[in-house]
């Protein structure tokens, strides 16, 4: 079994090096635990691919616990006996909704299958996906409308959401580039339409919180996606959103 040392005095095990024979894996684990204790190492990590799932009970017996998981791998961690900080697992999912306005101040809304009223198009932000790219994709899938991201005009938080996590939902202001509706995601979306802003806000069959929120931020300038010259290197931010300043202070 191979492993590398990390900069926090921990150990990261190479899952491709796990022996296929169970007895050999048990021996390797015993040697690893002895090494961790004698060298006073901190955390020991391994991300076990689903193809090696049979090894998971052996790691559990060696003192490892569940940390986080993806569709095709489970990450395990072993803590030493002395107190050690374990980086937290992801606590939030992220979603985005779109206020898409036409040149005549009509708003684009969708109706999900099984629901009663209409809502803003939007959905889940996928891993590694930028918010601005995600919402453009969601609007296209749910309505067939090409729309350009302009700003974030609000966000909401919810807990609990799914699987005990919290959720952050960003409300994005967008500008429609096309007008003809053509629902692509017909499994999820039952209907999509343009409707006057006033008609949507005054319709009690639509969510009250949605109507109140839209009435407040539909024409806000919001936080703009911003490029910062110093945003580079190992700590580079995926996206930066800022309010448009009245006066720019030069460094």
> What's the CATH code of the domain at 96?
3.90.79.10
Under a CB-based contact definition with an 8 Å cutoff, are residues 228 and 242 in contact? no
Number of domain units in the chain: 2
- Is residue 99 domain-shared with residue 219, that is, in the same domain? yes
Q: Is residue 63 part of a domain?
A: yes
How do residues 63-88 score in pLDDT, each as one tens digit? 999 998 888 999 999 999 888 888 88
**Predicted model pTM:** 0.75
- Is residue 58 domain-shared with residue 153, that is, in the same domain? no
Q: Is residue 232 part of a domain?
A: no
C-alpha R_g of the chain: 25
- Is residue 8 domain-shared with residue 106, that is, in the same domain? no
Q: Determine the straight-line distance between the first and last CA of the chain, rounded to whole angstroms.
A: 52
Distance CA 216, CA 247 (A): 25
How do residues 83-130 score in pLDDT, each as one tens digit? 888 888 778 889 999 999 998 889 999 999 988 889 999 999 998 899
Under a CB-based contact definition with an 8 Å cutoff, are residues 41 and 80 in contact? yes
Domain limit, last residue, from 47, 78, 109: 78
Distance CA 103, CA 88 (A): 46
- Is residue 117 domain-shared with residue 211, that is, in the same domain? yes
Cα angle 72, 137, 100; round to 5: 145
Q: How far is CA 195 from the centre of its chain?
A: 30
- Is residue 120 domain-shared with residue 195, that is, in the same domain? yes
Q: Is residue 15 part of a domain?
A: yes
Residue 74 CA: distances (Å) to CA of 8, 61, 89, 157, 220: 21, 16, 12, 27, 43
Distance CA 115, CA 156 (A): 21
What pLDDT, on a 0 to 100 scale, did the predictor assign at position 87? 84
Per the DSSP assignment, residues forming a β-bridge with 243 are 223
How do residues 127-169 score in pLDDT, each as one tens digit? 889 999 999 999 999 999 999 999 999 999 998 887 778 999 9
């Amino acid at each position: 079994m191979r492993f590398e040392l990390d900069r926090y005095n921990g150990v990261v095990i190479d899952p491709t090096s796990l022996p296929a024979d169970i007895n050999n894996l048990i021996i390797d684990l015993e040697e690893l635990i002895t090494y961790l204790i004698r060298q006073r190492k901190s955390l020991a990590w391994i991300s076990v691919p689903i193809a090696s799932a049979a090894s998971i009970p052996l790691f559990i017996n060696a003192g490892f616990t569940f940390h986080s998981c993806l569709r095709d791998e489970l990450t395990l961690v072993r803590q030493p006996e002395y107190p050690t900080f374990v980086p937290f697992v992801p606590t939030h999912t992220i979603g985005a909704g779109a206020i898409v306005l036409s040149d005549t101040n009509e708003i684009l809304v969708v109706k999900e299958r099984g629901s009663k009223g209409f809502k803003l198009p939007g959905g889940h932000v996928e891993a590694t996906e930028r918010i601005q790219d995600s919402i453009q994709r969601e609007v296209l899938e749910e309505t067939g409308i090409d729309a350009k991201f302009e700003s974030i005009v609000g966000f909401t938080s919810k807990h609990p959401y799914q699987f005990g996590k919290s959720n952050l939902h960003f409300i994005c202001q967008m500008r429609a580039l096309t007008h003809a509706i053509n629902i692509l995601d017909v499994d999820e979306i039952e209907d999509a339409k343009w409707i006057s802003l006033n008609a949507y806000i005054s319709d009690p069959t639509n969510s009250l919180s949605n109507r109140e929120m839209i009435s407040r931020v539909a024409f806000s300038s919001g936080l703009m996606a911003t490029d910062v010259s110093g945003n580079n290197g190992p700590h580079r931010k995926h996206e930066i959103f800022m309010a448009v300043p009245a006066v720019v202070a030069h460094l």
